Amino acid sequence: MELVYSPSQIATRFMYKVYAWMSGGLALTAVTASLASNTAWAQMLKQNTGLLLLLFLVQLGLVATLSFFLTRLSYLTASLMFILYSGLTGLIFSTLFLAFTQSSLVATFIVTAAMFATFALYGYYTQSDLTSWGNILFMILIGLLIGLIINMFLKNSVFQYVLSACGVVLFSLLTAYDAQQIKNMCAQMLQNGHISRKVAILGALMLYLDFINLFLMLLDFGGERKD
């Protein structure tokens, strides 16, 4: 006999899939980064700006494809693209082991996980509508990116510190916003009578990006560098 789930049960199972994919992606990133850091790859990537840029462009292409062409992709293709993105992030993150102490990386990951969980839970359970945050957070994100690009040339440590602090706040709020947006996507799909497994991967990618960027901002803000 086929099991029949209530809408609330279906929504819960959907969110489990989202966080399972996200957690799996983070685990793959962490393992890949740790393994690659013990090889010549990390040093080579640190010294080869062209290769690093190429990996970033590939990642950008993967995110754009998953975001804008999800309906045209098969579930297997979407899954492999998410896995590939997580693996490439791990390769890039292997260079962090050259710049920061291992204890600092672990401590920052734990702090990131705690902050992420707090804001994700708030976004999911709050009765407030966070939709109005979208445009504001997007504008702040653009401003942050511009600031980071400018400081690549200025190399001002105080300005970088301020940018990192703003980034911590921004990606914390984005975590809450995205958690609610994913919940709303699930509700809309239930109204249409179905939930696509591929949407769970997209939701996982959204939260994965929030976690990764929050981690980077926290690490830049208070991480212990080797030099």
pLDDT digits (tens, 9 = 90+) for 181-202: 999 888 787 666 556 788 999 9
pLDDT for position 66: 94
Q: Does residue 13 fall inside a structural domain?
A: yes
Do residues 155 and 100 touch, judged by C-beta distance below 8 A? no
Q: Tell which wins on pLDDT, 126 or 223.
A: 126
Q: Does residue 167 fall inside a structural domain?
A: yes
Q: Does residue 227 fall inside a structural domain?
A: no
Q: Does residue 2 fall inside a structural domain?
A: no
pLDDT for position 96: 94
Distance of CA 177 to the CA centre of its chain: 13
What's the CA dihedral at 118, 121, 125, 126 to 10 degrees? 40
Domain that holds residue 214: 7-222
Number of domains in the chain: 1
Q: Is the pLDDT of residue 117 over 90?
A: yes
Q: Does residue 159 fall inside a structural domain?
A: yes
Backbone angles phi, psi at 95, to 5 degrees: -70, -20
- H helices of 38-156, in order, are 40-47, 49-68, 75-93, 96-99, 102-125, 133-154
Residue 146 has, within 13 A of its CA and on its CB side, a CA count of 6
pLDDT for position 2: 47
Q: Tell me the pLDDT tens digit for each residue of 86-114.
A: 999 999 999 999 999 999 999 999 999 99
Q: Does residue 99 fall inside a structural domain?
A: yes
Q: Is the pLDDT of residue 5 over 70?
A: no
Q: Does residue 1 fall inside a structural domain?
A: no
Q: Does residue 163 fall inside a structural domain?
A: yes
